[in-house]
Amino acid sequence: MAVINKAGFISRMFKSIWVLTCVAVLIRMLVLQTEDAVFVASTGIVALSWPSSAVAVGICFYALDWSSGSELQSVVLLWGLSVVFGWFQWFILVPAIVRRLREALGTGISTISCVPSERVATDNAKAES
């Protein structure tokens, strides 16, 4: 029987769900192509990639002149930038930060205590005696 890496499996599952949701938002918008569909797609992709998608919105509005192309082109551009920034945020940056925190604290995130360190030291001293 094969051993399953639970953390790796969960990570791949979240990545798959996130990517499929992003693609579903794009497909829905491309199929319907109504003003409401474009609004929902724009809002949906920004929500999936928030807060890094704010950078994508800024790039679309200011650096690439949002109004220069058609609305559909602009939203597809926003979708692409948001997916790239969202992927970086959720699957590269956040795991790296969590890994660094775990290394710095010398323990897993799930075992961090909210008890002040003085109280922990006092409780440990009482337990040893």
Segment-wise mean pLDDT, segments of 10 residues, the chain, 129 residues = 70 90 88 80 85 80 65 79 90 90 73 51 60
**CA–CA dist 67, 64 (Å, integer):** 9
**Is the whole-model pTM more than 0.75?**
no
Cis amide leading into 51 (omega within 30): yes
Contacts of 105 (CB under 8 A, 6+ apart): 112
Q: How many CA atoms lie within 13 A of 10 on its CB side?
A: 4
> Residue 23's pLDDT is what?
92
What pLDDT, on the 0 to 100 scale, is given for residue 80? 87
Contact 23, 60 (CB under 8 A): no
pLDDT of residue 20: 93
Confidence (pLDDT) at 112: 47
Domain ranges of the chain: 10-107
Residue 128 confidence (pLDDT): 64
Q: How many CB atoms lie within 10 A of CB 25?
A: 22
